[in-house]
Chains A and B, each alone.
Chain A
């Protein structure tokens, strides 16, 4: 249907969208005419893209991100930009400069973050597919909280060109959908090499999910059921793992000692990179201009103070500190060493098992305001950040409920074996019929 459009007038009662496209162009292809929502940190030509930040208000990218080009090539209708934590910095979507998104399962709770808008849009049935981005769990966390499927691909499998960077070395764009099959289809459309992204890998994804998991070795790291993990969540996830075992998988418990410093390594790395990435927002080119009557170096500081939210300012300051001379060795360099340890841990475990499984999040969705202390919010990322540090694929698939609130099963795989994590998630989704 080239030259056609689809109408989009959703009942966005959970505030999943920052803006929508009433008549969205679409075409023919694998996603012909299908409504797809795009997280607001992914550039869309002609559609305002703000990363849910005041500092980017009014910014209309002159170009499409590679993933958006690929969606359009397959006929998808880009119907709107979804809410998120400002620049991806958060686990609840409460850090959006334009107000929070509610969890469709329970509107008194957060949808998770940072891709909370995308998760809510899918969970509420407004769109079947959405793009999220995952820096330390930002796809998997909201997928788990809202009861949908979310995949963080192997680092490099999806082009980052057009993704407004928060932490370049950690983040990936990935699919979010109501079920594994749809997520797999969306992943197929966006994956593949992009010459514009030097970190992109030449490895397209063409895969039909296969529920056959007999003989697959599933490792379960003890640390994923350690302190801080809600026992009710742990129990639901163990049930899920038992189901996989019944379907023929071999379950092996194991240890992942590098988890002890994964979170610290993650926060040092992402804040360092962010402090540099966000330096370009200085009032010269984006958002309301800095006051031209004052010396520039004073005016731009004020512009940044007003334009960034509290959490973003906090992370910029943390990252600036971590990179400072005299501290670089203590923080950034150490974080990279820790990161290598995490990677080595995964490599060691993946010599013995095919995938690792555990909960996606230590708890179910928080109530609004529950994680007002930043540190307790950071701690909730503990189970998702290892996959980002190591660059390996990880998926979250709904696996049950605790008091009517969804719980996600996380499956992590070897580097470049995204197909395998999709299959294991699909096997679970297909249920215990075997």
Chain B
């Protein structure tokens, strides 16, 4: 059963002011209705005026997504009643969008894949409803228009995605692209919203609305694939409908049937002139985008394809990597790639921490210690954990050097006396392990290595320890 997925993605453009007025877009920490004016409140008599910067940003996206930009595009009104929609219509684009027919290459389920983009258009965000007194049965609802008029772009794909995982990958790639362009801040709450169209080949299409996170897309689609496949297996028909994704419960739920009867009565926005901005494209110089940076990471730093893909998959990660290896590109790259792409990301995710919380200089310090052989990999992980925990708890940040010193983590190179003593102790305390070793059980050696490591607190060089322990055991056999 082939899965067919197409996405409609709404992203807030990270401009300083709103799409049709001069109000600031930086509203998230402020009081409700404090970033508003007659225009974004839709007061009678106010008129919209297009923010050039927003158009420029949208054109950058169009260019990065390899779209065609028609000579003329047009804003249109989408009419519907809702309290968060202060004019009773949303200014959007309808039959004359800003850009059409582009593509984005992603890593698909079966290798490199080209996902076609149907269109990219601009529109304004509506306001926000705040329900008071319980989410299910609110006592009353307040309206906050701070968000009203924030510029959005809607990106619509062709139904080219074949699995929830591919959809997730597409979104990640799109996010990276928008971040590289500097037109989107994925960390702002509510900056991305996704509607997904999903069907099993041969059956009706279902629209899933209201997905607001990257992970949510994969989860919602996975749920929907299972639900639809089960229906088909049971011989039931899939109805063409709109469903809502309930993030907290990870399920989709049928919407009111009325929503499918919505007639938005689109017509050209009479208060704005048509946009003729194709020529602006000539002046738009795109920055290096994820694919180009990935290739460069492989060529310049010798990164593996996987590491290069991970590192360039997020703008901040790529920047962090380049800062860490700046002093010695070739020398530090292999270690830095592994430590950042594998270890650091793992430790950050475990703590639900953001990459911003750690200074590239600290990572550089750690990589230099590892490179010099001052500490073992195991100690390296410990140093990293200490640094992250200090950040998490808001404690004063120590440098990796200071941590190594304070915790006495430097490798005990040459100090064979301490290791020999620890080996003797470990063997004496674990006669069973000695017996096992003698009986030829492979696990015994590893067990003893672990015991010695514990006693030397990870400072022993694993190679040296192995050699010494084997010798010590041989001596006991003799």
Which A residues lie at the B interface, using CB under 8 A?
Answer: 42-43, 49, 51, 56, 59, 61-63, 65, 160-165, 167-169, 195-199, 272-273, 275-276, 278-282, 284-286, 292, 296-297, 300, 320, 323-325, 328, 332
Q: CA of A285 to CA of B33 in the docked complex: distance in angstroms?
A: 13
The 4 closest A-B pairs by CB, nearest first: A279-B88, A323-B265, A168-B270, A169-B270
The 8 Å CB contact of B45, one of A65, A273, A292, A323, is: A65
Q: Is the CB of B43 within 8 A of A168?
A: no
Q: 0/1 per residue, B111-145, Cβ < 8 Å to A?
A: 00000000000000000000000000000110100
> Chain B contacts of A328 at CB under 8 A?
265-267
Question: Given the interface contacts A198-B273, A282-B81, A282-B83, does A272 sit within 8 Å of B47 by beta carbon?
Answer: no
Determine the main DSSP class of A at the interface with B.
loop
- How far, in Å, is A305 (CB) from chain B's closest CB? 14
> Chain A contacts of B272 at CB under 8 A?
198-199
Q: CA of A160 to CA of B270 in the docked complex: distance in angstroms?
A: 12
Q: Is the CB of A162 within 8 A of B270?
A: no
B56 within 8 A of A: no
> Chain B contacts of A280 at CB under 8 A?
42, 44, 86-88
Determine the main DSSP class of B at the interface with A.
loop
Across the interface, name the chain B residue whose C-beta is closest to A56.
B44
Please indicate which of the listed interface residues B38, B87, B143 has the most CB atoms of chain A within 10 Å of its own CB. B38
> Chain A contacts of B45 at CB under 8 A?
42-43, 49, 61, 63, 65, 161-165
Q: CA of A278 to CA of B87 in the docked complex: distance in angstroms?
A: 8
Q: Is the CB of B47 within 8 A of A160?
A: yes
Q: CA of A286 to CA of B270 in the docked complex: distance in angstroms?
A: 23
Question: Given the interface contacts A165-B44, A323-B265, does A199 sit within 8 Å of B273 by beta carbon?
Answer: yes
Q: Is the CB of A292 within 8 A of B86?
A: no
Question: Given the interface contacts A62-B38, A279-B79, does A196 sit within 8 Å of B47 by beta carbon?
Answer: yes
Interface bin, chain B: 20 to 34
19 contacts between A and B (CB under 8 A): A49-B44, A161-B45, A161-B46, A163-B45, A164-B45, A165-B45, A169-B270, A196-B47, A197-B271, A198-B48, A198-B49, A276-B265, A279-B87, A281-B88, A285-B86, A292-B140, A300-B81, A320-B265, A328-B265
Q: Is the CB of A198 within 8 A of B89?
A: no
Q: CA of A198 to CA of B265 in the docked complex: distance in angstroms?
A: 23
> Chain A contacts of B89 at CB under 8 A?
276, 279
Q: Is the CB of B267 within 8 A of A198?
A: no
Across the interface, name the chain B residue whose C-beta is closest to A197.
B47
Q: Is the CB of B265 within 8 A of A297?
A: no
Question: Given the interface contacts A285-B86, A297-B81, does A272 sit within 8 Å of B267 by beta carbon?
Answer: yes
Q: CA of A364 to CA of B50 in the docked complex: distance in angstroms?
A: 44
> Chain A contacts of B271 at CB under 8 A?
160, 165, 168, 197-199
| Cβ < 8 Å to A, chain B residues 27-71 | 38, 41-50
| Cβ < 8 Å to A, chain B residues 248-307 | 263, 265-267, 270-273
